[in-house]
């Protein structure tokens, strides 16, 4: 199965609504931060190839950079997400995979 834009957009919508960066105890959802589509594009191939694991998701999160302070500082999305959000993302991806693949 090859990924299509509608499939990635559907996954991105779920990610964007449910996964948030914790900023000073304030949740910035990935859709608001415009990070949901780049993340979906990175993790969708893991779902297609049945390579979904904590390690592969964390690697994808680590490779996605988040600009802070107008680009003065960049951190990985993995560092910007709480452990709870990483766990929620894994659960979301597992559920998406079981429904769609």
Rounded-to-integer distance, Cα 48 and Cα 74, Å: 29
pLDDT of residue 2: 47
Give the per-residue pLDDT at 3: 52
Model pLDDT, residue 25: 86
Structure confidence at residue 41 as a pLDDT band (50, 70, 90): very high
- Cα distance between residue 35 and residue 30, in whole Å: 5
**Residue-level pLDDT at 1:** 41
Q: Quick one: tokens of 31?
A: 């859709």
* Strand pairing category for 73-76 and 20-23: unpaired
Distance CA 62, CA 65 (A): 7
């Amino acid at each position: 199965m090859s990924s299509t834009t509608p499939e990635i957009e559907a996954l991105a919508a779920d990610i964007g609504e449910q996964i948030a960066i914790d900023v000073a105890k304030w949740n910035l959802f990935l859709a608001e931060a415009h990070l949901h589509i780049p993340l979906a594009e990175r993790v969708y191939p893991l779902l297609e190839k049945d390579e979904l694991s904590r390690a592969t998701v964390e690697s994808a999160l680590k490779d996605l950079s988040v600009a802070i302070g107008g680009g003065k500082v960049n951190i990985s999305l993995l560092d910007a997400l709480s452990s709870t959000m990483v766990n929620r993302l894994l659960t979301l991806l597992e559920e998406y995979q079981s429904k769609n693949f």
